[in-house]
Structure 1
Amino acid sequence: MWFSSQGSPILGFGKKSSTTSGPIVPLKRTLQERVVETESCYFCGDGRTTIGNIDRDMIVFCNQCERPCHVKCYNNGLEKKKVALKVLKEYMQFRFLCCEKCQLLRARLDEGLEKCEEIAFLRPIRSNICWRILSGMNTISDVHHYMPQIIDIFKDAFAETTAEHSDVIADMVNAKDVDGEKDFRGMYCAALTVSAHVVSAAILKVRTEEVAELVLVATRRECRKKGYFVLLIKSIEEHLRAWNVNLLTAPIDPEMAPIWSQKLGFTALSAEEKKSMLEAHPLVMFENLILMKKSFA
């Protein structure tokens, strides 16, 4: 997602690098506040809860879809009921999943963690390009070999981002819960690697089968204009289809919208559609960007 000094798009569509291109202008990302501040139970629609009490009327957020629900409403779908304290403990451990669909989606995501998958159509040429899905919450693997590389790619790509929001990007990559104010747990990094090096990466949040979001995406500076960007997007789309996800959203710089539309098949949401989407799903959104979507249904 870059522009040369002449305003021409610079994206990897399989072309070789050119020495005639102007200098690359870095972009900026500033986190936007949530649209909905008050929450109602996803199951019953009632937002009333008992503040400070751990009981059946307590509202807890699903660690997958992030929809709020009363403990009592959640228990209505269970054969074996859970006490509120156990539900709260599961939430704190990032294991509270509000329904069977969320449980299945989490299992699919975790199943793919750390696997180095070959790109199918590149197998005949024995390419060493691999697709990986990584989670900063997975502390028992070599994931931390890749995370610093991904952070460096994003910091280079969004160099105009303020120090405060640059730290937010690192927190997203590492899937951190920052003082309970910004909870980025459940965010994954989708990456293309060549040998031990990350060449292109995205922050991906798969909320439900209804919607996933492409929070950030960028390619290593020296690897641009070699097709990695599009290859990463296509790999993400392929996996989302396999996980039965219906829609992918992405916050895009307005000047980049034509490229995402013409080359990648995304469409821009109107202001009203964007407002409705952000009210229905707590997507990560940045200031001054438009929201685009691509349907797989």
Structure 2
Amino acid sequence: MKKQEERCLEPLREIDVRWRLLNGRVASPETKPLLLEAVSMFHECFDPIVDPATGRDLIPAMVNGRNLRTQDFGGMYCALLMVNSSVASAAMLRIFGGDIAELPLIATRNKNRGKGYFQTLFSCIERLLSFLSVKNLVLPAAEEAESIWIHKFGFSKMEPDQLTNYRKNYCQMMAFKGTVMLHKTVPQCRVTNTQS
């Protein structure tokens, strides 16, 4: 442990890592500051995503589960990876049912990049989706991040007919200008027998 402490800025035993899944519609006094921190992080990583019909920034609406004239964000959840009680990484998650879930926004604070925090959060999200028997996960990837999603996280580019089918059946699915839609099969949950 001493060698590890010498290499790290802070000893490993002092790092508290947890993940939370929050719904902005039912935010409590405890979770509202976390949701505000997530909005701040998304704004640190992305330009405002403006709804052309209303002119409003979609990021706070997504995080807080608000409905706009053109979008229903009531089913959105904000997944957070907390490190020592501060938000290190965040992702917006919406589950459409057993067939598909989407991750329209993912962000990690600049100071926390390269530490594996998003990989940890993504692993938690995948396990949750697997436990819920969700079959597929989709996301809009910026062109510069496409290869990371494909090579590091196992996504593949969605075929045009598959994208058309998803859009027909899940019209609220998010897509942004300058992105490519990716998808992957959610790994099946392994259930272990805890009975002796």
TM-score (norm 2): 0.81
Matched residues in 2 for 1:163 and 1:182: separation?
Answer: 9
Structure 1 residue 141: Cα displacement: 4.9
Q: How do 1:1-297 and structure 2 match up within 5 A?
A: 127-159=15-47, 161=49, 167-178=57-68, 180-282=69-171, 283-296=173-186
Counterpart CA distance in 1 for 2:93 and 2:60 is 14
Structure (1 or 2) with the larger CA radius of gyration: 1
Q: Deviations over 1:205-233 (max 9, x none)?
A: 01101100001001012111111111111
Percentage of identical aligned residues:
30
Give the Cα–Cα distance (whole angstroms) in 2 for the partners of residues 274 and 288 of structure 1: 16
Distance 1:160 1:132, change over 3 A: closer
Kept after mapping to 2: 8 A contact 1:155/1:166:
no
Following TM superposition, by how much is the alpha carbon of 1:284 offset from its aligned partner in structure 2, in angstroms?
A: 1.4
Structure 1 gap segments, 5+ residues each:
1-15, 17-123
In structure 2, relative to structure 1, the CA distance for the partners of 1:235 and 1:139 (3 Å cut) is closer
Q: 8 Å contact 1:137–1:174 — kept in the other structure?
A: yes
How far apart, in 2, do the equivalents of 1:181 and 1:256 lie? 28
Compute the RMSD of aligned alpha carbons.
Answer: 2.3
Deviations 1:139-180 (A, max 9, x none): 3451102011000110010136559777211100000012x4
Distance change in 2, residues 1:163/1:242 (3 Å): closer
Higher RCO structure, 1 or 2 (CA under 8 Å, sep 6+): 1
Between Structure 1 and Structure 2, how many residues are aligned?
Answer: 174
Q: Once the two structures are superposed, what CA deviation does each residue of 1:105-160 show, in whole Å capped at 9, x if it has no partner?
A: xxxxxxxxxxxxxxxxxxx9674100100010113451102011000110010136
Task: Normalising by structure 1, report the TM-score.
Answer: 0.54
Q: Residue 284 of structure 1: SS of its match in structure 2?
A: coil
More helix by share: 2
1-side partners of 2:152 and 2:71: how far apart? Answer: 33
Q: Is the 8 A contact 1:153 1:221 kept in 2?
A: no
Conserved in 2, the CA contact under 8 Å of 1:151 and 1:170? yes
Q: Which has the higher strand share?
A: 2
